[in-house]
Structures are given as structure tokens and as C-alpha cells.
Amino acid sequence: MKAEVKQILVEANTVFKQWKKEDLTTRIAYLKGLRDKLLVNKIAYGELMTKDMNKPIKQSVAEIEKSAKLIDYYIDNGERILKGRTIKTHWSEVFTVNDPLGVILGVMPWNYPFWQVFRFAVPTILAGNTVVLKHASNVPLSAQALEECFLVDGFPKVYFNISVPGKEVDEVVADPIIKGVSLTGSEPAGSSVASIAGSLIKPVVLELGGSNAFIINDDVDLDKIVPLALNARFQNTGQSCIAGKRFLVHNSIKEEFIKKFAEGAKQYQRGNLMDYATEIGLMAREDLAIELEKIMNDSVAMGAKIVFGGKREGEWFEPTLLTDVTETMPAFQQETFGPLAVVVGFNTFDEAIELSNNSHFGLGVAMFGKDVDFLKSKIHDFDEGAIFINDMVISDPSVPFGGNKYSGIGREMSDEGLLSFVNKKSVVIN
């Protein structure tokens, strides 16, 4: 490990020894300062994100506002969540306390450069830990701005950037100063970090890929569902782990869905990324767009048909819909991390469940139908970490977030997110 990286770990550990002793009121005061700083600079930070990874400015600024809401959630709920509990036993007193672990490493992706970092770092710091953050290499402006943002007047530095290539993260994970690691990103990166952390018995949270199904039963009003379907697929230019990627539609309304989805997709025109009217951006890197094009072309070679779109130019990938997709095609089996949707028909809801579960991912599923009791009766049949009924899958600070199967382990946000990196101590008094 480079000497400067080791030096940062040592510094983060020195601050931890002081930070863990601060009472919760002080840590919450820190969060208030952080939130205010974030909001004051929201346009400037938004512009940096747009420059880093081609996100339309309106979505960049919205991402900052959402991050501020997450901070508010923990300001309001931190004390309740961290409180611990008393347990009635034959001893005179038994209770639990949640103490911090130490320096926690975050390894974060480029697709939501601010949001991903906030949802990991805010609860981790509130719990009394300090954070060392390795951000994705292709968002350097955001990474630098984040470190500046987390430095709040009147408080110690509790958040430290490290600059190391992905392949060298292992030795940071292995360093004895690091007491836990949270990675959001791809399966290979998650697997690599989890194996080294596992071998050293360090806690890990992994938020990995997804290939969410968006299931539409035959009894819906498509005019209400199609705008959600479009948003679920094309938000963040399709580069979202929880995007609706596989549209499973009852065969009796499939053609009507395709027609309406195609009409709605026309609104997603290429535009100036700094213009607040622009709704879709370029993909973050050309190699990612080429990868998505290959998934599309390989599926077409196997018999899929392009309903609309299908063109790529540099980082621009036209919003695209594929039909005649089968379960063995790459567009069904792999994560399509960009604006490429696939539609598959079903005849019975049980068929839709089988299609949905036929994925090695298990992040979330959205299902739509008038009979909510019927849909609720199917919850336990799905493999995913989140089930949304009559809404698209979104992340919300108050709701636990995380996946099953190759989508990851552990949960972020809500109570679970704040308790991910704590020592849950049991205290017994005779």
C-alpha cells in the first residue's frame, strides 16, 4: 500500500478515538452542518456530477436534494435507532448498547456519485465510526467535492478520500485499521472485497447489480402504468441497479403496452446536459455503451427484435425496446445497465413469477394489478430483497434497501443501515 494511503488510515483511526466519545447530540449537530453545506452548494455539486458522468443537470440537483433528505431522516431517527434495548431476565439488569467499530471503508460506484456515498457514510459516521472512501475512478470531481463537503466547520475530519485503483482495494480491506467494508458496485468487485474481508472476519455490506422485473397483470389501466414503466427504465439513463429492466406483461395487453411505451419513449430526446429540460443523458463511459450494444446485438442475433431505438454513437445510446426476447438471451440474463428495455409476455401470474425469479440477481420487483390482495399473496414467491406493489422500485431513507442472491448481502438505510457497522454489546448486571 502507498505510504500516503496508510497515512490516511492512521489519521482516520486517530480521529475515530476522539469521535466515538462524542455524544449523539454532537454527532447530530455535525449532520445538520453537513446537510446545510450540501444544500447551499447543490447547484455547484450537481454540475460536477454532470461533468463527471453525463447525468442531466436536473437529475444531478435532485440527487443532492435526496441526499439531504437522507441526512434529515437520520437526524430525526438516529437516537431511536441507536438506543439499544432493555431485556427482562433473572439478572438485575440486562441491556444492549450500540458502539461504533472504528474506521470503515466505503467503495462506491459512479452512477449516483453523491447519493451512494451519502447513504453509506451518513449512518456510518452517525454511529460513531470514521469513513475512508474509495470512489469510482471516473468521478474525480465528485469525489473531491464530497471530501470537502464532509468537512464541516467546528467538527473533526471524519471522512477521508483515498485514491487507489479498484484492483488494489484488497490490501486496504486487509489493513488492521479497517474494521468493516461497504461496497456498491459490480459482482466481481463485491466478490473480491467480500472474500478478503471474510477471510479476516470483517463485516461486509454489498449492494450489487440487479435485473428487476416490472410485472404488469391484465387488469391495469396502462395509461397510469406506462409513465412509471418509462421512468423505471430510463431514469439516470438506465444506469440504475433498481431500474425496471425486464418488462413482463400479460399477453392480452402486451401489444398495447409496447405501443404506449414506444410513444412515451419519444420524450427522451438527446439534449444539452446542463439544460434543465433534458431528461436523458449520455452513458457515463463509451466502453459501457459498447458493452450494452453487444448485449443488444447478441440478443438480436438470437431472434430478438428492436421495436424502437437500437443506435449507439460514442456514449450516446438511444432509448431502445426489444421484443421477442427469450430467457436464454443476454438481454434477459445479464444486467442491462443503460437505456435498453426488454418485454416478455406471460399468460398466468405464476409464469410471471418464474420469469422474474429466472435471474441470478434478486434486488427488487415491481408488480401492478387491481387486486392488491392477490398480489400480496404472492410476496413470498419472489426471490428479491424488495417487493413494490403498484409502484416502481425506488430507494427511500426510511425503507431498508438491499438485495438477495447475486445482488448482495446486508441492508442500507432505515434502522438496518445505521446498525450495519456497530458492536451490538450486551450488558448483564447481576
CB of 184 to ligand NAP, least distance (A): 5
CB atoms within 10 A of CB 86: 11
Give 357-406 as a DSSP string.
HSSSEESEEEEE-S-HHHHHTTGGG---SEEEESS-----TTS-B--EET
The one catalytic residue among 241, 315, 335, 384 = 241
Of 100 and 417, CB closest to ligand NAP: 417
Residues forming beta bridges with residue 408, ordered by sequence position: 207
The question of whether 207 is a catalytic residue gets the answer yes
CB of 20 to ligand NAP, least distance (A): 27
CB of 208 to ligand NAP, least distance (A): 5
CB of 420 to ligand NAP, least distance (A): 13
CB of 190 to ligand NAP, least distance (A): 7
Beta-sheet pairing, 320-323 with 316-317: unpaired
The question of whether 241 is a catalytic residue gets the answer yes
Of 243 and 422, CB closest to ligand NAP: 243
Helices (H), 41-134: 42-53, 57-82, 115-126
**Distance (Å, rounded) from C-alpha 106 to C-alpha 58?**
27
46 membership: H or E segment, kind and range: helix 42-53
Give 205-238 as a DSSP string.
EEE----EEEEE-TTS-HHHHHHHHHHHHHGGGG
Of 162 and 229, CB closest to ligand NAP: 162
Binding site for ligand NAP (CB under 6 A): 107-111, 116, 134-137, 165-167, 169, 184-186, 188-189, 192-193, 207-210, 241, 335, 337, 363, 403, 408
Our measurement of the distance from residue 111's CA atom to the centroid of its chain's CA atoms, rounded to an integer in Å, reads 9
The one catalytic residue among 47, 63, 149, 207 = 207
Of 209 and 345, CB closest to ligand NAP: 209
Record the cell numbers describing residue 339, joined without a space: 437505456
Cell numbers 486496504: residue: 172
Of 191 and 252, CB closest to ligand NAP: 191
Active site residues: 207, 241
